Structure 1
Amino acid sequence: MPKAVRRTFVLVTTPVALLGAAAPSPTGSSGVGDPYFPLSGNGGYHVGHYDLTLRYDPGSGHLDGKAVLTARATQRLGRFDLDFKGLTVTGLTVDHTKAGFRRDGQELVVTPKRALGKGERFTVTVTYQGKPGPVTDPDGSPDGWIPTDDGAFVAGEPQGAMTWFPSNSHPTDKSSYDFTITVPKGHTAVANGVLLSERTAHAKTTFRWRQSEPMAAYLATATVGKFTVQQYTTRDGIRVYNAVDSREAAAAAPVLKKLPSVLEWEAKLFGPYPFRAAGSIVDHAPNVGYALETQSRPVYDRAPDLSTLVHENAHQWFGDSVSLTSWKDIWLNEGFATYTEWLYAEQHGGDSAQKTFDDLYAKPASDGLWEFPPGDPGSGANIFGTPVYARGAMALHVLRTTVGDPAFFRILRAWAAEHRDGHGTTAQFERLAERVSGKKLDSLFQTWVYAPGKPNRP
């Protein structure tokens, strides 16, 4: 996600409704303990698959939804939570048996009729309806289901997935997905992965999508609009689906034309593209202020420039396939994608990465670039700040100049390969870099990733 124009923080609240019986113990935790978003995710279970059926009317803004979660208990569960905010729950079952539930802010607290045993597989079905809208993040940006003049821009980083489907919404819980989305004829609904079918009947069109590779909930999308669609398969067998708002088509066309070559170039640096599908969703959403690396198909609020296209598709390796373990490590996403922009410019007739580094390093110690370290920004309000992106990229450049190009690019490829479809931490990346390079790098990481203030020049 490129850094957005941020707005004043607004606290979004939801009235609490109580349904069902008092919860027996033991219970799954209401969050996974993330230091920046303590209520994101839930303990006690892992969701293997989401089957989401949605019907959306852009005119009224009304959404009808049915979510079927196939999960496995990681402990004995008499009660567990789902992240779900705002929409009205009309029914809930666990293993096809009616379950008790209550609302507690962003938590949907579920009490199954019988306790679930550790290791037991179970199915949760939630039906719901209402007018979805975004949450406001700590930095003031909208996040989640964001209505537009012809549909909705759906981008969930870091916590917006809960605005449109119940989930275990933390990057540590990754799942496969099926989407069935019905919209008025003339509209297009675009989700992640491969388009399985598109059928029109009774003035409605239903799109079925499948994301087979594991995906964090924040990377899911169901963007709706009046789009022009382009489909093709690259010579590497990647199925590309581009959906473009007509108001952005002229500006987007020359950039989207470069997508296959960008993916090929990134694959040479980082290893094989990690998904079956690729593409772009170019919406006309001027009030959003950012793009997001929604898995397999980034969503853009306007026609992207080439650097943004390079950035969001670099995230398919760094952020999507290899996901965060904690939001404080977001530089592993944004610093890596930003440095990919530098590398692309360097290898395509632009400034060298060294020149970009030098220009940034010339900024005075009072500049916002040095306000906080990229490896621990300090709060959710800072995770999309300049230090995460630019100083994160600078840290990678220092690593590159320290270990040399051959070792550096082996490190990037090994990181993408060894953590594919999984997760990583900064500590793990540091250990991998030391193993591949044969160099002790603790001082480098402490100075450039963790220490506050402007570092001494390397």
Structure 2
Amino acid sequence: MRRALVAVTTVLAVALAGTPASATVRPRAAPAPGGPGVGDSYYPDYGNGGYDVSHYDVRLRYWPDTDKLTGTTTILARATQDLSQFNLDFALAVTSVRVNGWQASFARQGAHELVVKPARPVNAGQQLTVVVQYADTPSAVKVNGFTSWVRTSDGALAVGEPEIAWWWFPSNDHPTDKATFDIAVLVPDGTQVVSNGVMPSQPVRELSGWSRWYWRSTKPMATYLAFMAIGQYEIRTDTSVSGQPVINAYSDNLGEFADAARASVERTSEVVDWESTVFGPYPFEARGGVVTPPASMGYALEDQTRPMYDGRFFRRGSNMYVVVHENAHQWFGDSVSVADWRNIWLNEGFASYAEWLWSEAQGEGTAQELFDYTYALYPPDDPFWQVKPGDPGAQDPFHAAVYDRGAMTLHQLRLAVGDDTFFSILREWTASHRYGNATIEQFQALAEKMSGKDLDALFTTWLFTPGRPNLGSPSTMAARAIPAQPKSWQKIEETHAALHH
């Protein structure tokens, strides 16, 4: 053994002797802390640097009567640099953290940062298993004066955008770090738990008077799209024409809105099949929806595979437009997610235009009629026109202009390139960025490549320039009559009034 070692040492010495000075092996840099944020232009401290998550295993126990939540979240990740420490986004009280089986030290920093210092060095490329245990009362935990956790009369809702994970599992909380999920929740018998994806098994009695519910998401998912609804729900299951699980859930507290909610959400599979013909293949493993108690959320959200709707969306009867909107997000927002929250138009403008396309397909008003009506609805001096859909600002990223002017932008693109090219652009966009992230600039580049047109003036005018864009000469503009209200407008207006959350 000693002779072999000497031989290897000699060969190494000869090799180094012939190495050019420019290629001299230098000492490895000392490990550095992972970044406390990803540098998002609107929310720079959201997400973290230094690692990439592949999977979350979230195991919880919840007491509806007291809103107590205990949990163990196991995070599978890979270090992208040599790390001396790294951050997790989380607001609840933590009792312990382990990294690769070793107890790690941890400390609070800022409004929602958990700084973890591993007991052993972490090298770039190394696989990490991070186990965080915690216990708290989520509704009592405020970050910058608010909580996204919603307590209901029979349970709770973990739902929100752009942040919700802070109140129920530690994470790298930015859309650019997607992962798969296993979510298991122990609740009192007679309480239901609904979440994303599929149910790998039926609820299991784990303790006397307590049962555990299991959910699994097998496609990459942004952390804010992971949700949980706990309470009294009627759960309906079915299978789509393509063989996918269809799981819908309705709060027992919907009252007079119950039938209208079912008449809308039970058509989810039909909507997804139609949207698949427009946007390309459905990107996920299951479909469905959840209707929560009236006024519990106040909005709807495109949680991956299973959007959630406040019961009040159905107070005036069925509402297919909110179902179309939230399921369009499965392509635009969930599968193709924003690379930066400034790009929110890629989510909301596209989902809003999907409503116009549904109206057109149902004979309730063409996209052109909806464009004309929306354009005329806001006078030139309305503050609506001062918000730039392509950069609405961190204080109000869900402004009405992102939805309505956002949809108008896509209609102008459709007019500029023609129907065949326009719909080919949409399908190529969802295919080329499937399960990834993207920017407005990338969408413009794709539209220009596929159309062969210079579209810079169109995008600059409609997305980035304050003021109502001109559609003709001043005399032509003055002579434009306010068009008749399309049949679909009332439902679209009801939908958007609540969606600007």
Same fold (TM over 0.5): yes
State the 1:359 CA deviation.
Answer: 1.3
Q: CA deviation at 1:146?
A: 1.2
Match for 1:55 among 46, 57, 61?
A: 61
Determine the C-alpha separation between the residues in 2 that align with 1:315 and 1:262.
12
Match of 1:196, SS state, is coil
Which residue, 297, 307, 327 being the options, matches 1:288? 297
Residue aligning to 1:456: 470
Match of 1:302 in 2: 311
- Partner secondary structure for residue 457 of structure 1: coil
Q: What are the equivalent positions in structure 2 for 1:11-410 lying under 5 Å apart?
A: 26-85=32-91, 87-104=92-109, 105-133=111-139, 144-197=148-201, 198-201=203-206, 202-248=208-254, 249-302=258-311, 304=313, 305-362=319-376, 363-379=378-394, 381-410=395-424
Q: Distance in 2 between matches of 1:180 and 1:216?
A: 18
Report the 3-state secondary structure (helix = DSSP H, G, I; strand = E; otherwise coil) of the residue aligned with 2:323: helix
Measured after TM superposition, the shift of residue 115 of structure 1 is 2.1
After superposition, give the CA deviation of every residue in 1:60-114 in whole Å (9 maximum; x if it has no partner).
Answer: 10001110000001111001000001x2101110001000100112100000012
Residue pair 1:31, 1:40 contacting (<8 A) in 2 also: yes
Deviation at 1:251, TM superposition (A): 2.2
Report deviation, 1:288.
2.3
The structure number with the bigger radius of gyration is: 2
Unaligned runs of 5+ in 2: 1-29, 314-318, 473-501
**Structure whose residues are more often helix by fraction:** 2
2:490 is aligned to none
Q: Which amino acid aligns with 2:172?
A: N
In structure 2, C-alpha distance between the alignment counterparts of 1:40 and 1:237, rounded to whole Å: 37
Residue type of the alignment partner of 2:159? A
Once the two structures are TM-superposed, the CA of residue 154 in structure 1 deviates from its matched residue by 1.5
Amino acid at match of 1:284: P
SS in 2 for 1:261: helix
CA distance in 1, matches of 2:288, 2:142: 27
CA positional deviation for 1:303:
5.5
3-state SS of 1:92 partner: strand
Deviation at 1:223, TM superposition (A): 1.2
| Number of positions where the alignment pairs a residue of Structure 1 with one of Structure 2 | 431
Structure 1 residues 358 and 416, CA gap change in structure 2 (3 angstroms) = same
Offset of 1:246 from its aligned partner? Answer: 2.2
Compared CA separation, residues 263 and 136, structure 1 to 2 (3 A): farther
RMSD across aligned positions (CA): 1.6
1:390-439 per-position Cα deviation (integer Å, ceiling 9, x unaligned):
11111000000110100000000001111001011001100111111111
DSSP 3-state at the match of 1:382: coil
- d(CA) in 2 for partners of 1:277, 1:144: 25
Counterparts of 2:43 and 2:128, CA distance in 1 = 27
Structure 1 residue aligned with 2:435 = 421
Query: Deviation of residue 25 (structure 1)?
Result: 5.0
User: Scaled by the length of structure 1, what TM-score is found?
Assistant: 0.91
Instruction: Normalising by structure 2, report the TM-score.
Output: 0.84
The C-alpha deviation readout for 1:322-375, integer Å capped at 9, x for no partner, is: 001000100100000000001101110211111111112112122232121100
Q: Which residue of 2 aligns with 1:11?
A: none
* Deviation, structure 1 residue 219: 0.3
**How far 1:259 moved relative to its partner?**
1.3
Residue 105 of structure 2 contacts residue 117 of structure 2 at CA under 8 Å; is this kept in 1? yes
C-alpha distance in structure 2 between counterparts of 1:378 and 1:80, whole Å: 29
Letter in 1 for 2:460: Q
Residue by residue over 1:171-226, the C-alpha shift from the partner in whole angstroms, topping out at 9 and shown as x without a partner, is: 01100000111111111111110011222352212111110100000000111110
Amino acid in structure 1 at the alignment position of 2:291: V
Is the CA contact (8 Å cut-off) linking 2:298 and 2:312 kept in structure 1? no
Confirm or deny: 8 A CA contact 1:231 1:240 kept in the other structure: yes
Structure 1 match to 2:5: none
* Residue pair 2:269, 2:287 contacting (<8 A) in 1 also: no
Q: Is the 8 A contact 2:337 2:437 kept in 1?
A: yes
Higher relative contact order (CA 8 A, sep 6+): 1
Give the letter for the 1:149 counterpart. S
Maintained 8 Å contact 2:149/2:164: yes
Distance 2:389 2:64 in 1: 39
Measure, in 2, the Cα distance between the counterparts of 1:137 and 1:27: 24
- Percent identical among aligned pairs is 48
Stretches of structure 1 that go unaligned for 5 or more consecutive residues are: 1-23
Query: What CA distance in whole angstroms lies between the structure 1 residues aligned with 2:426 and 2:115?
Result: 41
What secondary structure sits across from 2:301 in the alignment? coil
The separation in 2 between residues aligned to 1:321 and 1:116, in whole angstroms, is: 31
Is the Cα–Cα contact under 8 Å of residues 269 and 288 in structure 2 kept in the other structure? no
Aligned: 1:436 with 2:442: no
SS state at 2:32 partner: coil
Shift of 1:239: 0.8
